[in-house]
Structure 1
Amino acid sequence: MNALCKEKSPYLLQHADNPVDWHPWTEESLLKAKHLDRPIFLSVGYSTCHWCHVMAKESFENPIVAQLLNSFFIPIKVDREERPDIDQFYMEFVQAFTGQGGWPMNVWLTPNLEPFFGGTYFPLESKWGKPGFVDILKKIAELWQYNRSLLEQQGQEIFHKMREVIQSSFEPKSPPNLAIASRKAVEQLWGSFDRTHGGFSPSPKFPRPSLFYFLFRAGSLADFSEDYKKKSLQMALYSLQKMSGGGIHDQLEGGFHRYSVDEKWRLPHFEKMLYDQATLGLSYLDAYQATDDPLFKDTFESLVEYLLSHLHHPSGGFYSAEDADSLNASGQEEEGAYYLWTFQELQQTLEPIVGKDRSKILAHFFGATEQGNLPGGLISEEALAKKNILLMEKPLSDLAHELGISLEEAREIVLKAKEGLKKERLKRSKPFLDDKIICAWNGYTLSALAKAYMVIGDGRLINEAKKTATFLLENLWDPSSKTLYRIYRNGRGTPGFSSDYASLALSMLHLFEADQDEKWLSLAKLFQELLEEKFVDPYRHNYMVEAVEISAKSIQTREEYDGAEPATLSLAAHSLLKLYTLTGEEKWRKRLEELFSYAWPILERFPTALPYLLGVYCEYRAPLVEIILVGEKKNEETKRLFHSLSKLLIPNRLLVVLDPQEKLPSLLKSPDFYTTLTRHYEGLPLIYICTNGQCHLAQTERDKALEILKPFAVLFPEKSYQPI
């Protein structure tokens, strides 16, 4: 056992039995490198990463590798989900050094933390054009002993340049104009859009929900032509439709895998991350609001079932991920073993459910073949050659026609078949569960649950949202020191980063909208204020990843890209807009415009770098639509109206419920106006809609209110989403 046995991170604990003398990233470990005058070997990954497991088995369990690392280096292991600051800083080096990034990330540092060599996965011995890990270790050990000054000079130069970039600021070429950036972003996305399979790149394909968030809101810009608006919606809707039918979507238990290895969304990289479920969940809700298509609603609801059945902590909160690997029938670890089927396995499982003749037809309907349906040339393990991933790419009408039955009967057969396959699959060895609870990721999930309650009206969703909020506040928030923590696993872990504060602030705003309890608005305001107080960048208007007083003493990083997760900058902008809309406080609007101005030089050069932020800008520029529902919150008619009014996707919308039996929220703007509205209440709920500085007459009928609102909503009435 090495020093990692005392850590809480499941990823670090996975390496506690390695013969490598791993150290955690601590002051003591860093001082040891200086004292022994050895370079640091820094290895960063996460517990559900397939290639991290491969390298661990090949190299870190190898006694020759262990001897080299223990004799000539100080080996340090870092969980990227626990320390995103370290991961981000050295990933920037690896991407600049090699032209690509990913995990595991392996970097060699001087004792002063200056990187001089790095990469991602290294095979034990040279293959695939990659140098062997043992050869690299021997060469670096030799250079450190005989030509150390070369490595130190290289490290110092790189480190200095990285710090220069962090402390510098972009000079804009023209005055800030995010409308132009939004138009260019749509043009760039349209140019890279896959009109056959959806998505915005060749293989591998990553969902990147921030793009969908922007595209659903781009149409609200008055500067956009109808053609631009239509293209924006088509790109989002068609991509989400194709993903829902692909192998990246778990057709039996719901939820999405991390990304697709091929361009058709068929062969996934099998790990399932909480942040993907939450952010894609919000995308599918947007799609359902814009189209009323049950496909998007069903996809979201199956995703929620996955969250509650696989990632849910009994006391509230959600675990971080499930592994790509699991044990196959022979007891060997294999990527995707839990999810894949031979054609024979499918037939044998389906036969008792639908009969022998229909079992083969159903298996083909799910995209399976006797030879396997995984894309050739992309399979890294021989055992996967004849396996199938379940797909839902064919229309139900094809199955109905082939079986000579009605569409409704075909739907029932598919549901029965999926339930039977799910029951059989649950007998298999499940993937490893990373059971740490990450604040930021739970914030995204809380936002998705709160919004879903508003749109769908399932009371279970708001109960789970409040339960999650309570869990986070009880376990990750210390009100005495005003400190938020990032990780919960057998107690609190690392202090929170800027993304944790930003995500929780935004989720509390979403929860306030759904629950209409002022305590959530008060907490949102507090977390946003702490974000501004602790993390504002001294060189720019952006936010540091770590608190400023900590960043000044260590590695400085900031996020300027909406990747798998939105950047703190984008999350904060969303919160600032909502706080301004709800409270009317000018300080929130001014801070929001500062962020827009700061982002302009980035967006001027790279329009798709911050699509979530551009989505917030589109909302900010859209006309404010204020919906004030006056009625008793426990009244069933009030609830029915609340969900009906929430179902429309209106970019810049304020929805407030004023209960005449309760004290009005003190933090909301226009208290006198709101008080006046409640005086007109006579037992029936009243709907007030205010736009462009004017309020319509009170409405009591849902349909009339919706007619007033529809001109402000994002709607796509066409049946086909594929661009011609």
Structure 2
Amino acid sequence: MNFYSFGRWISRVSQHPVTSSFRRTMATAGEGSASDSTGKLNRLASEKSPYLLQHASNPVDWYPWSEEAFNVAKRENKLIFLSVGYSTCHWCHVMERESFENPDIAKIMNANFINVKVDREERPDVDKVYMTFVTASSGRGGWPMSVFLTPDLVPVAGGTYFPPEDRFGRSGFGTVLKSLSQKWKEDEGKFKESGKKIMEVLDRTSRLSLSAQSDLPGEEAIARCYAQLSRSYEPQYGGFGESPKFPQPANFNFLFTYYALNPDQDDAKKSLEMALFTLKKMDQGGIHDHVAQGFARYSTDERWHVPHFEKMLYDQAQLTCSYLDAYVITGQSRFAEVVKDILTYVTRDLSHPCGGFYSAEDADSLPTHDAKEKREGAFCVWTYEEINQLLAVPVKEGHDSTLANVFCHHFSVAEGGNVNPYQDPHDELKNQNVLIEHSSIEETGEEFGLTEEECKVALTKCCQILYDIRQKRPKPHLDDKMLTSWNGMMLGAMARAGVILGENSYIERAIQAADFVKTYLFKDGLLLRSAYSMEDGQVSIGSSLEGFVDDYAWMIRGFLNLYEATLDTSWLELAEELQDKENELFWDTQEAGYFMTKAGDSSILLRIKEDQDGAEPSANSVSVGNLLRLSPLLDRADYREKAEAIFQLFAERLNKIPIALPEMTTALLIHKKHPVQIILAGKKGTDATQKMLQAVHGHLIPSRVILLADENHESLLYNRHSSLRHYHPKKPDETVAHVCQNFRCSLPVSNPEQLEETLNNPCFVVE
């Protein structure tokens, strides 16, 4: 077969269903794979990444992404096999167990290829280049990503998961390895020529150009984003699309912002309904861990019932903000409870003693301590018999029902399990129950003759008993890598939660995380990518890999949120410093927009600009929002100009498929409104100022700018806003608020109730 036919073939055989319909059990490969027959460790043993360390005892002669590997490939004239994944990736574990721990397959790999292993979270630049190739050549991507490169790092074939052996008409990994190796030996020139053409195509198709005719996107893009989300909305259970269902917090951000800026419009009201209903269904579903808190990565079914049990830090951070927005708009206490639930999980299970936040918890774990194979969800699920044994006590004195009766009714626990076999084709969840609420606490209480409060107390007691039991089970692998971008995301969410809910402990935790970043991840004016937890509780920064654009974008947003929660301008100064550094390192001076990487790394063949808001919003989307917030705060017109240049660069996509960029469309919404300037004249940190600040945060005003006039004329804000000198409190212990928009100001108010009334006046919150 010719090379192009081979490329199409390898794309087909590498694909696998990533939904629950193709789940497989996996062996104990997660935390440190089975070693080869000699017990020898490979080069990955000296790395810091938890994912690379998982593969350190494979019989494969792995290299990390390094000049050493590239030089060996050139010297020996061998293809490079690049394997990219992350430590809590279920299918990465499967391919490791089936292929990378297989001595026969490892022998083929070692004899014919230079094998390179990459943690996609540690090196998103490498991942992005080759995922662009895989998705362009096959129409889909995923992890593990398996790509074959020439010694010059040009991709020539690739896919995702490969089964170890030929089956069901699909070629196995061993067959693919032998075929590619033979073809390289027979005609490497054809590979190189094809690779050259591939790179030309990828360079052309991945490049965004700023057309002279590109107008700033307007109402059409915003209306289309709403229309596209509305069409994809699934009204029975909420969410966007059928199964599998992902949280997609960027969609909530757009919907809430659209409502907040247009509260009287019918489509804006529909936006609010879609967001609130989806968040309620997610809260009730199995994607929400009702026993140990936090949210799983996604649901494999349309009802949010059976999750992929992996928990990611970035989901916890973004969903914290989504539920905060829901609480601010509705005042419903349940949304605040969900926020506290998420933050309980993060502070307890994803926190380093020094203040950083860990990355993730795995979906897979051993069902018992003496088990040989891990199962997805084993840590989280329950049999009917277990529940009835553990909760076999009266719900209260003199009551006929047990805690088990109430719990099973409320969380849909069934004899024989409550998981649809279609969601569990390999019997990992057979006879097991994934907790899901189908009735309210009030309704459950009525069923058993309990008041709502009595029922809530009973269910809380049940969950605590089950939590204590779960802590005795084998725990899933914890990825204790601490990424700068995700830490910025989480500390920003913590800061918002603290000021909105009046919980100072959250603000203190956010400050602790920010200090962690300053101590370990901020060096010589540059951000680093990641830090790593050591066995003694200390922190290592590993190879001191420099940060990427998303590290800057999310840390800037985190510092901005921390400033708005504390009015401490030192965080605002840091945000400006990082924004200027981001502009210096990543801004495209010819076409506008931010590259993912800075220039100068010859191993990265393409400098790509992310153009889609996925599980995490793209750095360009986050950055344009940051620029629009910083511009009026710091009186930086150049920031606003950069934001408008980004909108123009992405104009075609925003006008045609804004659903691909909901976070950027949210920023476009804000850009079209005049900022609402809220000036608090008083002393930072006083009770009066904090109450006024909490009143401000009790309203969703997307275009607001909060300024403190504390009579410190040397401060950053007084430096940029000479008008602040005109604002003074009438009394030493008083804080006076002024609300202004489009050159109109309200009368000054001196208590939170008056400020609430002013902010409720649409004259000052919309144009």
> Does TM, normalized by the shorter one, top 0.5?
yes
Shift in alpha-carbon separation, 1:510–1:560, aligned structure 2, 3 A: same
Q: CA contact under 8 A between 2:391 and 2:402: conserved in structure 1?
A: no
From 409, 433, 439, the equivalent of 1:364 is 409
Q: Distance in 2 between matches of 1:433 and 1:678?
A: 51
Aligned-partner residue type, residue 350 of structure 1:
L
Q: Distance in 2 between matches of 1:349 and 1:545?
A: 51
CA shift, 1:206, in A, is: 1.4
Q: Which residue of 1 aligns with 2:748?
A: 698
Q: Distance in 1 between matches of 2:438 and 2:585?
A: 48
CA shift, 1:17, in A, is: 0.3
- Bigger drift between 449-458 and 330-339 goes to 330-339
CA shift, 1:713, in A, is: 10
Q: CA contact under 8 A between 2:350 and 2:359: conserved in structure 1?
A: yes
Q: CA contact under 8 A between 2:211 and 2:649: conserved in structure 1?
A: no
Shift in alpha-carbon separation, 1:653–1:712, aligned structure 2, 3 A: farther
CA shift, 1:504, in A, is: 1.2
- Bigger drift between 683-692 and 594-603 goes to 683-692
Aligned-partner residue type, residue 548 of structure 1:
A
Shift in alpha-carbon separation, 1:37–1:583, aligned structure 2, 3 A: same
From 435, 447, 452, the equivalent of 1:407 is 452
CA offset digits 1:591-624 (Å, max 9, x no partner): 1111111121221232112111111121222342
From 332, 354, 369, the equivalent of 2:395 is 354
Aligned-partner residue type, residue 274 of structure 1:
L
Shift in alpha-carbon separation, 1:682–1:714, aligned structure 2, 3 A: closer
Aligned-partner residue type, residue 211 of structure 1:
N
Q: Which residue of 1 aligns with 2:18?
A: none
Unaligned stretches of 5+ in structure 2? 1-40, 533-539
Q: CA contact under 8 A between 2:729 and 2:735: conserved in structure 1?
A: no
From 12, 17, 35, the equivalent of 2:75 is 35
Shift in alpha-carbon separation, 1:195–1:669, aligned structure 2, 3 A: farther
Q: Which residue of 2 aligns with 1:719?
A: none
CA shift, 1:574, in A, is: 1.4
From 437, 441, 463, the equivalent of 1:396 is 441
Q: Could you tell me the percent identity over the aligned residues?
A: 39
CA shift, 1:701, in A, is: 3.1
Shift in alpha-carbon separation, 1:220–1:129, aligned structure 2, 3 A: farther
Q: Which residue of 2 aligns with 1:576?
A: 627
CA shift, 1:497, in A, is: 0.5
From 375, 378, 381, the equivalent of 1:334 is 375
Unaligned stretches of 5+ in structure 1? 716-724
Q: CA contact under 8 A between 1:184 and 1:607: conserved in structure 2?
A: yes
Q: CA contact under 8 A between 1:658 and 1:664: conserved in structure 2?
A: no
> For 2:206, what is the secondary structure of its paired residue?
helix
The answer to whether 1:674 aligns with 2:724 is: yes
From 415, 418, 432, the equivalent of 2:477 is 432
What are the equivalent positions in structure 2 for 1:4-19 lying under 5 Å apart? Answer: 4-19=44-59
**How many residues are treated as equivalent by the alignment?**
711
Q: Distance in 1 between matches of 2:431 and 2:213?
A: 55
CA shift, 1:704, in A, is: 2.4
> For 1:688, what is the secondary structure of its paired residue?
strand
Q: CA contact under 8 A between 2:491 and 2:513: conserved in structure 1?
A: yes
From 313, 316, 323, the equivalent of 2:352 is 313
- Bigger drift between 402-411 and 536-545 goes to 536-545
Q: Distance in 2 between matches of 1:656 and 1:417?
A: 47
The answer to whether 1:302 aligns with 2:347 is: no
- Bigger drift between 19-28 and 644-653 goes to 644-653
From 552, 562, 576, the equivalent of 1:501 is 552
- Bigger drift between 285-294 and 487-496 goes to 487-496
Q: Distance in 2 between matches of 1:521 and 1:610?
A: 27
Shift in alpha-carbon separation, 1:118–1:579, aligned structure 2, 3 A: same
Q: CA contact under 8 A between 1:260 and 1:268: conserved in structure 2?
A: yes
Q: Distance in 2 between matches of 1:175 and 1:585?
A: 22
Shift in alpha-carbon separation, 1:357–1:545, aligned structure 2, 3 A: same
- Bigger drift between 7-16 and 663-672 goes to 663-672
Q: Distance in 1 between matches of 2:707 and 2:502?
A: 16
Q: Distance in 2 between matches of 1:128 and 1:389?
A: 32
Q: Distance in 1 between matches of 2:233 and 2:764?
A: 21
From 71, 74, 78, the equivalent of 2:114 is 74
- Bigger drift between 606-615 and 18-27 goes to 606-615
Q: Distance in 1 between matches of 2:550 and 2:631?
A: 20
Q: Which residue of 2 aligns with 1:521?
A: 572
CA offset digits 1:494-548 (Å, max 9, x no partner): 2111111111112111111111111111110010001000111255211111112
Shift in alpha-carbon separation, 1:484–1:670, aligned structure 2, 3 A: closer
Q: Which residue of 2 aligns with 1:657?
A: 708
> For 2:157, what is the secondary structure of its paired residue?
strand
Q: Which residue of 1 aligns with 2:737?
A: 687
The answer to whether 1:143 aligns with 2:188 is: no
CA shift, 1:221, in A, is: 5.1
Aligned-partner residue type, residue 638 of structure 2:
K
Aligned-partner residue type, residue 664 of structure 2:
L
Q: Which residue of 2 aligns with 1:207?
A: 247
Shift in alpha-carbon separation, 1:11–1:684, aligned structure 2, 3 A: same
CA offset digits 1:302-350 (Å, max 9, x no partner): 1000001001010111011111111112423111111111111111122
Q: CA contact under 8 A between 1:576 and 1:589: conserved in structure 2?
A: yes
CA offset digits 1:188-207 (Å, max 9, x no partner): 11111000111111111111
Q: Distance in 2 between matches of 1:402 and 1:131?
A: 56
Shift in alpha-carbon separation, 1:713–1:434, aligned structure 2, 3 A: farther
CA shift, 1:220, in A, is: 4.7
Q: CA contact under 8 A between 2:217 and 2:654: conserved in structure 1?
A: no
Q: Distance in 2 between matches of 1:149 and 1:58?
A: 32
CA shift, 1:684, in A, is: 2.5
Q: Which residue of 2 aligns with 1:718?
A: none
- Bigger drift between 557-566 and 621-630 goes to 621-630
Q: CA contact under 8 A between 2:740 and 2:764: conserved in structure 1?
A: no
Shift in alpha-carbon separation, 1:303–1:519, aligned structure 2, 3 A: same
> For 1:328, what is the secondary structure of its paired residue?
coil
> For 1:437, what is the secondary structure of its paired residue?
strand
The answer to whether 1:559 aligns with 2:607 is: no
Aligned-partner residue type, residue 309 of structure 1:
R
Shift in alpha-carbon separation, 1:370–1:150, aligned structure 2, 3 A: farther
CA offset digits 1:424-455 (Å, max 9, x no partner): 21111111111111000000001101111121
The answer to whether 1:510 aligns with 2:561 is: yes
CA shift, 1:688, in A, is: 1.6
- Bigger drift between 248-257 and 303-312 goes to 248-257
Q: Distance in 2 between matches of 1:696 and 1:167?
A: 47
Q: CA contact under 8 A between 2:681 and 2:729: conserved in structure 1?
A: no
CA offset digits 1:565-585 (Å, max 9, x no partner): 111111111111111121222
CA shift, 1:663, in A, is: 5.0
Q: CA contact under 8 A between 1:353 and 1:416: conserved in structure 2?
A: no
Q: CA contact under 8 A between 2:737 and 2:755: conserved in structure 1?
A: yes
Q: CA contact under 8 A between 2:670 and 2:702: conserved in structure 1?
A: yes
- Bigger drift between 301-310 and 196-205 goes to 196-205
RMSD of aligned residue pairs (Cα, Å):
2.1
Q: Distance in 2 between matches of 1:217 and 1:621?
A: 12
The answer to whether 1:265 aligns with 2:304 is: yes
- Bigger drift between 142-151 and 118-127 goes to 142-151
Q: Which residue of 2 aligns with 1:707?
A: 757
Aligned-partner residue type, residue 53 of structure 1:
H
Q: Distance in 2 between matches of 1:303 and 1:653?
A: 26
> For 1:312, what is the secondary structure of its paired residue?
coil
Q: Distance in 2 between matches of 1:83 and 1:25?
A: 9
CA offset digits 1:551-575 (Å, max 9, x no partner): 7964422211111111111111111
CA shift, 1:61, in A, is: 0.2
